[in-house]
Amino acid sequence: MQFGIFSIGDIARDPLTGRTPSEAERIQNIVRIAQKADEVGLDVFALGEHHNPPFVPSSPVAILSHVAALTKNIVLSTAVTLITTNDPVRIAEEYAMLQHLAKGRLDLMIGRGNTVPVYPWFGQDIRQGVPLALENYNLLHRLWREDVVDWEGSFRTPLQGFTATPRPLDDVPPFVWHGSIRTVEIAEQAAYYGNGYFANHILAPNFHFKPLVDFYRERYEFYGHGTAQQAIVGLGGQVFIAKNSQDAVTQFRPYFESYPLFGGTPLEVYMERTPLSVGSPQEVIEKTLTFQEGFGDYQRQLFNVDLGGLPIEQVLEQIELLGTEVVPVLRKELEGRRAPGVPDAPTHASLVRAKYGDAEPRQPAPRQHRGDNVIGASPYLDNDPNQAVSYPSVH
């Protein structure tokens, strides 16, 4: 079971001091948050992608590659990478590069995002959001698995004899989670490929997304990747922890109440009805355990701890408490509960083992440059030199 934190990288005014951090400050703080998560032994740090103020992470790849250099063990991920408005060719190349630099400590979560104007900013049409997400991932999946791709679809120019570079580390693509909270087709796509399914379980009533998670599990089994129980499920959560529960509520209340996302719902109502945990480590542990009771054994739990202008010192303290008091207990408790045969979330190491066993992983090395910058159907020394390129017809 993996535990980690995910951030949308929002910048908000601190309601207690009235001070709003600059972008420069928030960018540095995101790095500190990731480093702290690594130090206290959390498993995952995931960062959102946004292209509008007050959010800062427009380029999670850039931030995460910097974080990769400063951390040791933590797996870096995204929450989410926009599969709709990013060209899948760019995603394939940028995240493969990041995967190399992070030495395999990378997976990514793809999703449609929630900001309507982003679509036109990147030349896309939100009315095509679902087919765009499906087609783009279908292409991304191939770009990471086939050295040479001939492809055509509805939303971008055809590819002829295209090779996304670099090839993934050890020729093993980063594991992909599909994040979705309402679209059954996205759950189906996750199941079809045997990828992970992440339900961001915040901002909605407890267990609201159970029908979608169950759907994914059942289809995962249908496609022969394992039993429904073995499907790879991740959940979002949100916590604010203090040594005792009253302090937690008192300290968190102004941040909760000043944040528009919560729609003016009273904190107590929100704590009761949604997965938000505000309280002592024990209370947070107990609430998180109910997730397993509701959704079944799952592989990844991400917490949001830095929303709404919480000062960096307090965010770091949250991560400290998660790492020292909450997660160790959850780890032990959930391991004990876990049904036999339920796997961990795939990591680069486990995927390499699954692909190669004890054999050496493939390390693609390109053929000699021919002078035209196009290598054709056999770009790597170990490719079949007789393989033909097939070109999509022009119409």
Partner 1 sequence: MTDNVNEGTPVKIVAITAGVSDPSTTRMLSDRIAQKVTDLLRAQGREAIVTTVDLAPMAGEIAQTLVTTYPGERVQAAIDVIAEADALIVSTPVYKAGVSGLFKSFIDILDNDLIIATPTILAATAGTSRHAMVVDEQMRGLFAYLRALPVPTSLFAAPEDWGASALTDRIARAATELVALVQADVRTAMTASSWDQYQHQFAGNAKRAARSVGDIDFSSELMRMAAGGASRPKRDASGA
* Interface residues toward partner 1, by CB under 8 A: 130-131, 134-135, 138, 141, 150, 152-155, 182-186, 188-189, 192-193, 203-205, 208, 211-212, 214-215, 218-219, 222, 262-265, 269, 273-274, 390-393
Residue nearer to partner 1 on the CB measure, 121 or 391: 391
Q: The tokens 């250099």 sit on which residue?
A: 69
| CA end-to-end span of the chain | 50
How far is 184 from 17, CA to CA, in rounded Å? Answer: 43
Residue nearer to partner 1 on the CB measure, 23 or 125: 125
Residue nearer to partner 1 on the CB measure, 170 or 188: 188
How far is 250 from 322, CA to CA, in rounded Å? Answer: 19
Residue 243 in 3-state DSSP?
Answer: coil
Q: How far is the CB of 93 from partner 1 (least distance, A)?
A: 22
Residue type for position 167: R
Q: How far is the CB of 304 from partner 1 (least distance, A)?
A: 16
Residue nearer to partner 1 on the CB measure, 128 or 314: 128
The separation between CA 91 and the C-alpha centre of its own chain, rounded to angstroms, equals 13
Q: How far is the CB of 103 from partner 1 (least distance, A)?
A: 30
The separation between CA 47 and the C-alpha centre of its own chain, rounded to angstroms, equals 7
Q: How far is the CB of 86 from partner 1 (least distance, A)?
A: 17
Residue nearer to partner 1 on the CB measure, 294 or 311: 294
Beta strands per DSSP E along 61-218: 75-78, 81-82, 107-111, 149-151, 159-162, 175-179, 196-199
Strand 149-151, strand 159-162: pairing? antiparallel
Q: Are 46 and 9 in contact (CB under 8 A)?
A: no
Q: How far is the CB of 125 from partner 1 (least distance, A)?
A: 14
Enumerate residues 6+ apart whose C-beta is below 8 A from 160: 150, 389, 391, 392
Q: How far is the CB of 274 from partner 1 (least distance, A)?
A: 8
DSSP lists the bridge partners of residue 47 as 7, 78
Residue nearer to partner 1 on the CB measure, 17 or 154: 154
Q: How far is the CB of 147 from partner 1 (least distance, A)?
A: 16
Q: How far is the CB of 378 from partner 1 (least distance, A)?
A: 18
Q: Are 345 and 2 in contact (CB under 8 A)?
A: yes
Residue nearer to partner 1 on the CB measure, 18 or 263: 263
Residue nearer to partner 1 on the CB measure, 273 or 337: 273
Q: Where are the alpha helices (DSSP H) in 198-347?
A: 210-222, 245-257, 267-273, 281-295, 312-321, 327-337
Q: What are the tokens at 243?
A: 């040594």
DSSP lists the bridge partners of residue 4 as 44, 302
